[in-house]
Structure 1
Amino acid sequence: MTKIISMITLVGTSVLISAQVGINTATPEKELTVNGTMKTSGIVFKQPMEKLKADENYTFIIKSPAPENKITAYNDSFVPNSPAPINLVQFKITCDPADKDWVNQFDTKINSKKFLVVISSFGFTQPTRTNSANWLTPVPQIFAYSSNGTWKLKADYHGFSPDASLPTGIWTLNLLVFDRSYAKDFNATQSLNASTTGAAAAPLIQ
């Protein structure tokens, strides 16, 4: 009799282990599916990580801004004023009519302690020229830099400008804005000395 009871217990245990458990749902999709809020003192991820199926999507877990202040899956309709982990921001800046192509400093008001800004692409509406006797190629100087807690932009064709008969130029600057919670920036300065080749002294990331 003891052997029979032990066998039944083992069989029942194996069934429970392989079953899918649902909390507040009658149709669990995984070993444990929770439809509602959950509190835990720690999470151990399954190794190896399970791959998403063809009909499954991934998302980011974020803390929504006040007044919600909730840990939630990123959803633009749920928190419309909250930035995404990666954002595309476009500025169209009309230049000073006297210079036509120079933006010495434009304050984006983007918090440089919270976000990392990269200029991904740009455009300018007018052709530029120089009064120099030498043939020169206009090279745009486009910068995004942090100053006094916000990101500033600079754009100019140094030594060049649109002809006086042309309308004032307009810069289009497309920015990739990364939340620093998910991104890091690394800086390195190195000289090639008398050579045309070189290598980093050490890997910045690995």
Structure 2
Amino acid sequence: MTKITSIILLLGAVWINAQVGINTTKPEKELTVNGTMKTSGMVFKKPMEKLGADENYTFIIKSPAPENKITAYNDSFVPNSPAPINLVQFKITCDPSDKDWVNQFDTKINSNKFLVVISSFGFTQPTRTYSADWLTPMPQIFAYADGGTWKLKADYQGFSPDSSFPTGVWTLNLLVFDRSYAKDFNSTQDLRASTTGSAAAPLIQ
């Protein structure tokens, strides 16, 4: 009886330490699958195992219907491929004769595939107006889709840097979302004679 128990314990130890491969003869983890897989009720190992120095991540996202698209992102596979959310920065030097006006800048970002939001901005020069002193400069900054790409506009309308100042440079930071995983909603409201109001219906809930 003692011998049988020892054999069972030994086999159990071998099984616990084994690595299983499906469609591969060289499994890298406890379970390595080379091919498609369908699973439900998946339980992740706790604590989550950290990637090794020579390992990289793969980020998998499934978009909702009707696309039902599964996309895998891995910088080691395609270093210049876009991620679901991207941060893009443009530094735009203005026309020396105006110093602060960007009437239209074509980012060349596909407006049918991506959604662009200006997250922050900066301008290198102070601006002023030559009318009443109490006016406060307010930048007009827009990202808009036109002709299949995203365009940018930036200006201190009615204001400009002093003629003695260098030409201004805009820094525009954009958040660029893959439209497969993002939605944009538009609503037009009229407050009429009131200063308060509410949406007719929730856009998202």
TM range (shorter): 0.7 to 0.9
Give the 5 Å matches for 1:1-206: 22-23=21-22, 24=24, 25=27, 28=30, 33-38=31-36, 43=38, 45-46=40-41, 50=43, 53-56=46-49, 60-61=59-60, 73-206=72-205
What are the Cα deviations for residues 170-198 of structure 1, in whole angstroms up to 9, with x where unaligned?
00000000011111100001012222221
What are the Cα deviations for residues 30-85 of structure 1, in whole angstroms up to 9, with x where unaligned?
xxx343122x6xx4532xx646744357853269xxxxxxx774211211121011
Moved over 6 A (4+): none
What are the Cα deviations for residues 107-136 of structure 1, in whole angstroms up to 9, with x where unaligned?
000000000000000000000000003410
User: Which residue of the partner structure matches residue 66 of structure 1?
Assistant: none
**Distance in structure 2 (CA, Å) of the matches to 1:126 and 1:101:** 8
**Distance in structure 1 (CA, Å) of the matches to 2:201 and 2:39:** 34
Return closer, same or farther for 1:115/1:95 CA change in 2, 3 Å cut-off.
same
Aligned residues: 171
SS in 2 for 1:89: strand
Return closer, same or farther for 1:54/1:169 CA change in 2, 3 Å cut-off.
farther
In structure 2, give the amino acid aligned to 1:99: D
Return closer, same or farther for 1:59/1:189 CA change in 2, 3 Å cut-off.
farther
TM-score, normalised to structure 1, is 0.74
RMSD value over aligned CA atoms? Answer: 2.5
**Distance in structure 2 (CA, Å) of the matches to 1:144 and 1:132:** 29
Query: Sequence identity, in percent?
Result: 78
In structure 2, give the amino acid aligned to 1:55: M
**Distance in structure 1 (CA, Å) of the matches to 2:157 and 2:45:** 50
Return closer, same or farther for 1:198/1:54 CA change in 2, 3 Å cut-off.
farther
Return closer, same or farther for 1:120/1:53 CA change in 2, 3 Å cut-off.
farther
**Distance in structure 1 (CA, Å) of the matches to 2:61 and 2:117:** 22
Return closer, same or farther for 1:162/1:184 CA change in 2, 3 Å cut-off.
same
Q: Which runs of 5+ in 2 are unaligned?
A: 1-18, 51-56, 63-69
- CA drift of 1:21 comes to 6.4
**Distance in structure 2 (CA, Å) of the matches to 1:101 and 1:27:** 57
Return closer, same or farther for 1:183/1:137 CA change in 2, 3 Å cut-off.
same
**Distance in structure 1 (CA, Å) of the matches to 2:34 and 2:46:** 23
TM-score, normalised to structure 2, is 0.75
Return closer, same or farther for 1:72/1:112 CA change in 2, 3 Å cut-off.
closer
In structure 1, give the amino acid aligned to 2:34: G
In structure 1, give the amino acid aligned to 2:174: L
